[in-house]
Amino acid sequence: MDLRSFLIASLALALGACGPSGDEPKNSQPQDTRFVLPSSAIAVAKMQIVRPAFEFPGVTEAIQSTETRAMVSAEIRAIHFAPGQMVQQGDLLVEFDPADYDAAYAVAEAQVETAKASLTQAESNWQRAQELKPDGYISDKQYDEARAGFDTSRAGVASAEADLKKAGLDLERTKVYAPFPGKISRPYYAVGAYVVSQSAVQPQPLFELVQVDPIYVKGALELGAYNRAVLLRQRLAAEGKEIPELALTLELAGGQEYPYSGTFESWDNTSVSSMGTITARLQFPNPDGLLLPGQNILVKGESIDAVERIIVPQKAVQIDQQGHFVLTVAEGDLVERRNIEVGIRVRDQWAVQQGLIEGDRIIVNGLQMVREGMSLNIQDTD
């Protein structure tokens, strides 16, 4: 057999081997194109009994403060407080030398007595003029002079009494008392210093006083949280339901828990549009003066009454122009978008008010890889 015949025969045998026979290779199975998602990436929605809680940073703020300045010009004779001391309303704090004001008060008292004596004489003259005028014993001019003398003397008494009152106030102002309870600063003048009242040359106050018990705590809340809270209160009030109370506590620097609970005071009357926030003001007792104005703390709130809600991890909740939503695994293992209405945060979870029912399967991991309508191949990872 020549070479050409050999090659043709070999080709024929090779083609025959590819034909139908008992050893024919089977066709391969179609490839599964579904997205593989581990079962650990899915959470099942369940109702839970929770106490809604929240936290936000806050700053302490004095309820009231004052810079007390001298109301009289005199030498300081005594200072009755120490820097940082807690004082009570009415405590005597500073005494000025009252000698000049004692003398001025005595002069004013004497002027009142003189004015009263003049009034007594003028009143007697006026009464006598009223008796004599009808019988023609005095002229019209004398009658008018008697009446004017009486009116002038009466005004003189009023003026003298006003001067006496002013002298009395000045004398009282030689002693400075605490206008309200609080923590006091250091004195800005020493004993023996001469202080000029309301002087631009000596603008420093005698001391500063801040009320620290109770004390305000203010913090900025996101407007969305504020709107939800206000609308919820309005809805509960309209339905005749009780508004749940909140237990408000503080965490100090270093993770220390503040021993007293607080109460909600008010919302600010304006919002910060650039930040999308509104300021809430809380009030806390501070009998030991532990909290000082300007101190940074963490505010924690928790509802006293428990509620039943579906709770989902915050990382599963997304937001777009339509609002909050989650991706769920629907029938046939298809990815389905579910719009939800979130309530308050419970630590690292959201309480869901609407949009989910118990038993819904929620995708919590791998969200960046799945899309609505996608078919899933859920593999058990247990």
Segment 230-247, tens digit of pLDDT: 676 677 677 776 655 678
Q: What is the mean pLDDT of residues 211-240?
A: 76
Tokens standing for residue 264: 């909600």
Q: Which domains does the chain have, with CATH numbers?
A: 37-49+309-379 (2.40.420.20), 53-63+212-305 (2.40.30.170), 67-97+174-209 (2.40.50.100), 98-173 (1.10.287.470)
- What percent of the chain clears pLDDT 90, i.e. is strictly above it? 43
Helix (H) / strand (E) element for 283: namely strand 277-284
Looking at per-residue pLDDT, the higher value among 148 and 220 belongs to 148
Segment 6-34, tens digit of pLDDT: 334 444 444 444 444 445 455 555 666 78
Segment 84-109, tens digit of pLDDT: 999 999 999 999 999 999 999 999 99
Question: What pLDDT, on a 0 to 100 scale, did the predictor assign at position 203?
Answer: 72
For residue 101, how far is the Cα from the chain centroid? 46
Sign of CA dihedral 374, 378, 381, 382: positive
* Residue 25: DSSP 8-state: P
- Whole-angstrom CA distances from 323 to 41, 327, 339 are 23, 13, 7
Q: Give residue 248's pLDDT band: very low, low, confident or very high (50, 70, 90).
A: confident
Question: What pLDDT, on a 0 to 100 scale, did the predictor assign at position 46?
Answer: 86
Q: What is the mean pLDDT of residues 223-227?
A: 68
Report whether pLDDT(274) > 60.
no
Dihedral angle at the C-alpha atoms of 299, 300, 305, 308, nearest 10 degrees?
130
Report whether pLDDT(150) > 60.
yes
Contact 309, 316 (CB under 8 A): no
Closest by CA to 71, choosing from 110, 106, 107, 98, is 98
| pTM for the whole structure | 0.61
CA–CA gap between residue 120 and residue 153 (Å, rounded): 8
